Structure 1
């Protein structure tokens, strides 16, 4: 996951070796070697320095008001105001990212949580202090703005901002009203904060006894244990984990409804037709792109069902259950990786992007970009963020599985996007849109897969890698679009005036997951309990209409990666150069335009059709390998237990 720059948003399981972390997971952050922690000192040397910077920024905000009423005085006056606005925003990002990262290191600690709350309050104050700028720009005659652009060179970096401000005119309020709206920012994240504290700190996750020993099923424990080759273990893991979440369905539902209400407020106050239109307008993405993705995926569910039947066959199961979706298809994929191996694999995979790209990424891994390892209390999941003038920061929870290697490559793509944009763009256009952000991450995953498949030693390893690629396509194209359809549906219900409850959302989600996975057709059995899975998806609480971009970005990156490979085979670099130029362009153009310049037109159905072709071709290849080497997938899979009652208990 990419965390936008301006977001006001286990140790290795391999055997120990010199320079590697110990074989057992650390339980406290103090046990983690420094080389596996991010270097927040590049932002502030300590919390006291952060506090001084926060106080200094708070004292500077009121002074910005001296520019009010003077933007049209001269080109210099406009440039002075915009330059100071950028400096304040950059300083806020530094304060916010540090506090947020400190809180994520251990979500149980009250001090860092308080720091993040203070940073969030300061962000609201900053938004309020700067909120009059867009209305004031809109009050200027367009010909005056155009003339000013030619009179002061400092305004050149703000040209895209000024053009985009004019695009926002129908949705911009008078300055006084903008300030009031900005003040509501503290309320916008209430549901997100409740969900985060509950799942990361307070919820009493169960401990279950598996065939390998007792495991505490917090989020990291669940994600690690759901891959067990033992069917009875998987059943215990799924039922215990989602059973725990189900107990808090009402509370979590209330939290998500609060987020939806905030999105409806944004829709109404900004005069949009829908919450979807309000969210996509930020990046100038047509709502038709979102709607067509959902329609295209639903039309291609038979391709997903083909994969699920292949998975059932390879695992030797009489019945495929939702609990069986994460177990590796082939024994070879059970191998573990330590952090250093994962870094080396990632650096090797991205070689098609050029020596300079590889060198920058290697330097980042060696200089404190990444917080690698899970410990008790650490925020679950993964993300990449950054501060202009400093460098990116990556949060990981590396458990040593192949999926963790892929996650490292994914977040490295985000980080390199950030680095290239920082290097080539001024501050005003350094922050790229989320619609294009996931292209950089999923392209790195594609390169990792292609490099690994090219170096596979036998058919068993090829099958393992092909299976992982199919699983990536399932989770990114189909699962994320299912999330997007759920998100759209709950917003549409709220827009019709229906109240949302946890129970109602679980029923809606269960219907979707059963349709996607062919429950009624006997493709994959989905127990009633898994209707509560939405409670575990952090993106619903942190963003509005974000997840669809994982799918659209994978579609785009698949096309770009194919072009890069074809060029590489011919000794050309055109596709690579266009792609790197897109990354370096940052936010200087709208994302749909940037992708078109990189060779992919997302306003047409062609890129999605090509992705489906690749998925089917991958299954064709797996079936050829299985015929050639019948035992390659041979896994003495434990048979599935008899189906539980329909209520999932």
Structure 2
């Protein structure tokens, strides 16, 4: 294996150009000092936010401080990510984090002070002509007002904050630090320690005994801690109930959705529509059983490779070319920016010593976005390039079409643009390939994304809804309750073709997302919205492309559901999820055809 290069040995054309944000350390230092000075001006507005002029000047200062702080923070952290062992940028990263905290504290009076106004006074501000640009901000404050408590109550809730993070902290310590797994045999018959990281590798083994042993060992270990882990998850549910009641929400679910202004129907509609589509998932299970040539399909067979690993060697230059071709349906303007990004220092391409792992898209308003990659010459890295460029193009088009305050899109929307690019790339590759082996490899890759991102995350979302509803009805949440609810869901989703192993009833105990409640549904809605967009773009052409580009340009200038709806994807209806299921059905049909069903 070739030696990983040092940062200094990386070719300049393979590195991002962070000097587009700050040309020098002196420029960073100057902006840091200027921002420190701006922070002092914030206190001039305290106690004065009742007139339109004062509110406007205060919002302008808030935007200025936020933008400077963001630029300093993004630059210092991206420099740190180039080589995490480099002490100079570790220190700079810490310095910018402290500044972000100071900025947050300096500006923290704004929302409570405006919310202390009467509804009548607040409505006058909303209607004031000089505050027309800030109308959305003020309307959002008014919407939140019903759930903001008195000063004394808010102070009390703030003090409870440390206690409320306890369930998540305790779970994390049990799960990551205290829990030790026994050794299991790998494919070579060697005893290897089972870890969170190696578990999925064991489940992807071609050797069924290896998969079975890892699976059983994992859940037997969790089962020994079931009482503690149930108490921890139950405490997290209780915390959610406490906050939802204290803040006068009808339920914990509605409290969680309120921030994004998402109606409860979006959540329940996702679950109901996926229930309709369960026969498709079960049909895929039947196909999986046939391809694996097993008498019974077990839970530990879900990640086993269905076809021989198809080695697709794709260099970075080839990946760029293929991704560009695959995204042609998005039109010339989109492609021009995309091609420019490849040549103008947006992307940090290869691994180097000390570089942060993984991939992301990031940046600061006023400068082009940036993408960090650790490119390997394979299919996965090509999909990662398409995915991250989806985020980057979303940020670029939002930033160039929106003022700073309304440029940032929500997490609810974030995964749509990235997943759409992957969907178009997959469609392109499937249409282009003439090799049945390659086609089968791509089909299973895509079908498993539907299984894990749509079906599995929706099942998680349903589990969360059921356990919270149970607690809200005053019923118990014992380890047995959690296990029964979870096991029954697995049976319901996977159907009679699957031998649903008893051990799976403990899986709830190892899902960290359950401590970030009612979050996972966004994976399923984002994937469905992206699949719906890609289907519309491929079927309709230009009108659908125009709507989609409008979505990318909208940033956070409206509520997420409204932005999607204007672009032709109404997540409050079953339609986008049904469109995604049509695509999934097409994949299964192609797989069945290739296997000669």
* Pairwise TM-score range, normalised by the shorter structure: 0.7 to 0.9
The aligned counterpart of 2:546 is: 577
Distance 1:428 1:170, change over 3 A: same
The aligned runs of 1:369-448 (5 Å cut-off) are 384-389=361-366, 392=369, 402-403=379-380, 405-448=382-425
Q: Is the Cα–Cα contact under 8 Å of residues 128 and 182 in structure 1 kept in the other structure? A: no
The aligned runs of 1:90-239 (5 Å cut-off) are 90=67, 93=70, 125=105, 128-136=108-116, 141-142=121-122, 144-146=124-126, 148=128, 150-151=129-130, 155-174=131-150, 177-178=153-154, 181=157, 189-192=165-168, 208-211=184-187, 218-239=195-216
- Out of 232, 237, 240, the position equivalent to 1:263 is 240
Alpha-carbon shift at residue 410 of structure 1 (Å): 3.1
- Structure with greater contact order relative to length (CA < 8 Å, sep ≥ 6): 1
The aligned counterpart of 1:293 is: 270
Deviates more, 1:170-179 or 1:189-198: 189-198
Distance 1:77 1:134, change over 3 A: closer
Alpha-carbon shift at residue 485 of structure 1 (Å): 0.9
The aligned counterpart of 1:283 is: 260
The aligned runs of 1:314-393 (5 Å cut-off) are 314-331=291-308, 333=310, 335=312, 342=319, 344-361=321-338, 367=345, 384-389=361-366, 392=369
2:456 matches 1:466: no
Deviates more, 1:49-58 or 1:527-536: 49-58
Distance 1:565 1:377, change over 3 A: closer
The aligned counterpart of 2:566 is: 597
Q: TM-score normalized by structure 1? A: 0.75
Q: Distance in 2 between matches of 1:104 and 1:533?
A: 37
The aligned counterpart of 2:532 is: 559
Alpha-carbon shift at residue 587 of structure 1 (Å): 0.8
Higher helix share: 2
Alpha-carbon shift at residue 289 of structure 1 (Å): 1.3
Q: Distance in 1 between matches of 2:465 and 2:365?
A: 33
Q: TM-score normalized by structure 2? A: 0.81
Q: Is the Cα–Cα contact under 8 Å of residues 310 and 437 in structure 2 kept in the other structure? A: no
Alpha-carbon shift at residue 306 of structure 1 (Å): 0.6
Q: Is the Cα–Cα contact under 8 Å of residues 480 and 550 in structure 1 kept in the other structure? A: yes
For structure 1, the residue ranges without an aligned partner over 5 or more in a row are 1-15, 17-21, 631-649
2:525 matches 1:547: no
Q: Is the Cα–Cα contact under 8 Å of residues 69 and 100 in structure 2 kept in the other structure? A: no
Q: Distance in 2 between matches of 1:245 and 1:40?
A: 45
Partner SS for 2:249: coil
Q: Distance in 2 between matches of 1:31 and 1:528?
A: 53
Q: Distance in 1 between matches of 2:69 and 2:317?
A: 34
The aligned counterpart of 1:533 is: 507
2:40 matches 1:67: no
Q: Distance in 2 between matches of 1:55 and 1:552?
A: 43
Q: Distance in 2 between matches of 1:392 and 1:186?
A: 35
Alpha-carbon shift at residue 372 of structure 1 (Å): 7.2
Alpha-carbon shift at residue 197 of structure 1 (Å): 6.5
Q: Distance in 2 between matches of 1:294 and 1:116?
A: 42
Q: Distance in 1 between matches of 2:34 and 2:150?
A: 29
The CA deviation string for residues 132-152 of structure 1, in whole angstroms up to 9 with x for no partner, is: 24414665625632453x23x
For structure 2, the residue ranges without an aligned partner over 5 or more in a row are none
Distance 1:501 1:61, change over 3 A: farther
Alpha-carbon shift at residue 84 of structure 1 (Å): 2.1
Q: Distance in 2 between matches of 1:246 and 1:376?
A: 38
Q: Distance in 1 between matches of 2:399 and 2:264?
A: 29
Q: Distance in 1 between matches of 2:418 and 2:466?
A: 27
2:557 matches 1:588: yes
Q: Distance in 1 between matches of 2:219 and 2:82?
A: 23
The aligned runs of 1:627-642 (5 Å cut-off) are 627=596
Distance 1:238 1:31, change over 3 A: farther
2:579 matches 1:610: yes
Q: Distance in 2 between matches of 1:282 and 1:319?
A: 44
Cα RMSD (Å): 4.5
Alpha-carbon shift at residue 437 of structure 1 (Å): 2.3
Distance 1:384 1:273, change over 3 A: farther
